[in-house]
Amino acid sequence: MEPFVAPDGDPRCAWAGGAPELLAYHDAEWGFPVGDDTRLFEKICLEGFQSGLSWRTILNKRDAFRSAFAGFDFHAVARFDEPDVERMLADPGIVRHRGKIEAAINNARRAVELEAEAGSLAAYVWRFEPDAGEVGIPQTKTTSATSVALSKDLKKRGWRFVGPTTAFAFIQSMGLINDHQHACKTRAEVDAARQAFTRPG
């Protein structure tokens, strides 16, 4: 897969060339390690909403999703009820899919339970950091042994819309692995960020 040469003349991952907002997301967020519970919960929810859609669609709706879902404060979302579901089904700014909306509310409740058990959502998530050699050639997989294990464990705990492909996209984007292409300028920045990152737990 040939890298994308950005307007600044430096190469990036091929997918970053799809739209200006994708390049900005790629350079500032994708693959950088995250230890904040709210951001982790937001991403796993948005990955679920992305199912069957493009990430560009979800990214362009992210602010609306944040507004609809109380900034992805999972303690607040856990208290949502049927009127909140109906409110969001009427919100043109988000993906109006009842199953995915109800799954996000359910997952917020499961996140509260995980926090009580593990101390934080981040402490739980980072238990699943793969060994360095597991993924191999960047961006040639859509699942991995670790994403299958994470998906299985979350489903056992009652989470929904967290299949192995969704879990792998989550692991990539939240920096549990560095899956930037080797030629990508941002790969070295992510390596440095991962080395400096203090694993929660």
From CA 127, how far away is CA 52, in angstroms rounded?
28
Instruction: Sketch the domain layout of the chain as residue ranges.
Output: 34-196
At the second CATH level, the architecture of 34-196 is Orthogonal Bundle (1.10)
Confidence of residue 96 (pLDDT cuts 50, 70, 90): very high
The response to whether 45 counts as a known ligand-binding position is no
Check if the beta carbon of residue 34 is closer than 8 Å to that of residue 24.
no
Spot the catalytic one: 30, 42, 47, 124: 47
pLDDT tens, position by position, 9-20: 999 999 999 999
Active site annotation includes 47: yes
Active site annotation includes 55: yes
The response to whether 75 counts as a known ligand-binding position is no
Check if the beta carbon of residue 50 is closer than 8 Å to that of residue 61.
no
Residue 81 burial (10 A CB sphere; 0-12, 13-18, 19+): exposed
pLDDT tens, position by position, 32-74: 999 999 999 999 999 999 999 999 999 999 999 999 999 999 9
Spot the catalytic one: 15, 30, 55, 159: 55
pLDDT tens, position by position, 121-172: 999 999 999 987 788 899 999 999 999 999 999 999 999 999 999 999 999 9
